[in-house]
Amino acid sequence: MFDFWTDMSYGKAVLADSAVYGWFELTDDYTGSGANPAGRDKLLADAKAAARQAGVDMDNFNTLVVLNRALDLFGGPGGAVGGDDGKNLAMAGLAPSLIGQEMGHVYGLNHSRMLGSEAEYQDPWDIMSTGPDTTTIGINPDSQMNQIAPNGRPVYGVGPGMNAANMWSLGWLDESRVWNEAGDVDVTISLRPLHQREREGYLAARFGEYFIELRVPERWDVGIGEDPVVLVHVFEGGRSYLVADSAGNFTWRAGSKSGIDGFPEPPASLGLGLTRIQVGSIDADARTATISLTRIKGAGPEKHFPEWWPRRKAFDLTQVRPDDAVLLTQGRELVVEGPTSLAREIRVAVTRDLLGPEASGPDLTTVARAIDLSSAGGDSQQ
State which residue, 76 or 201, has the beta carbon closest to Zn ion.
76
Per the CB < 8 A criterion, the answer to whether 8 and 203 are in contact is no
State phi, psi for 168 to the nearest 5 degrees: -60, -40
Residue window 307-336: x/- pattern of binding to Zn ion, with contact defined by CB under 5 A: ------------------------------
Burial class from Cβ neighbours inside 10 Å (0-12, 13-18, 19+) for residue 59 reads exposed
- Judged by CB under 5 A, the number of residues near Zn ion is 1
Shortest distance, position 310 Cβ to Zn ion, whole Å:
27
The Cα diameter of the chain in Å comes to 77
Shortest distance, position 101 Cβ to Zn ion, whole Å:
5
Stretch that binds Zn ion, among 96-104, 185-193, 318-326, 368-376 (CB under 5 A): 96-104
Burial class from Cβ neighbours inside 10 Å (0-12, 13-18, 19+) for residue 321 reads middle
State which residue, 80 or 346, has the beta carbon closest to Zn ion.
80
Q: Residue 194: which region, alpha, beta or left (left: phi > 0; alpha: psi -120 to 50)?
A: alpha
State which residue, 156 or 207, has the beta carbon closest to Zn ion.
156
State phi, psi for 175 to the nearest 5 degrees: -60, -25
Shortest distance, position 92 Cβ to Zn ion, whole Å:
16
State phi, psi for 67 to the nearest 5 degrees: -105, 140
State which residue, 107 or 179, has the beta carbon closest to Zn ion.
107
Q: How many CB atoms lie within 10 A of CB 40?
A: 22
Provide the pairing of β-strand 358-360 with 325-328.
Answer: antiparallel
Alpha-carbon span 127 to 221, nearest angstrom? 10
Question: With the CA atoms of 264, 267, 273 and 274 taken in that order, what torsion angle do they form, in degrees rounded to the nearest 10?
Answer: 20
State which residue, 101 or 169, has the beta carbon closest to Zn ion.
101
Shortest distance, position 108 Cβ to Zn ion, whole Å:
12
Stretch that binds Zn ion, among 79-87, 98-106, 231-239, 356-364 (CB under 5 A): 98-106
Shortest distance, position 289 Cβ to Zn ion, whole Å:
29
Shortest distance, position 213 Cβ to Zn ion, whole Å:
21
Contacts of 96 (CB under 8 A, 6+ apart): 1, 4, 142, 156, 157, 158, 159
Stretch that binds Zn ion, among 101-109, 210-218, 219-227, 314-322 (CB under 5 A): 101-109
Shortest distance, position 219 Cβ to Zn ion, whole Å:
22
Alpha-carbon span 366 to 360, nearest angstrom? 13
Shortest distance, position 370 Cβ to Zn ion, whole Å:
31
Stretch that binds Zn ion, among 35-43, 99-107, 206-214, 297-305 (CB under 5 A): 99-107
Residue at shortest CB range from Zn ion: 101
State which residue, 160 or 361, has the beta carbon closest to Zn ion.
160
State which residue, 101 or 258, has the beta carbon closest to Zn ion.
101
Residues that bind Zn ion (CB under 5 A): 101
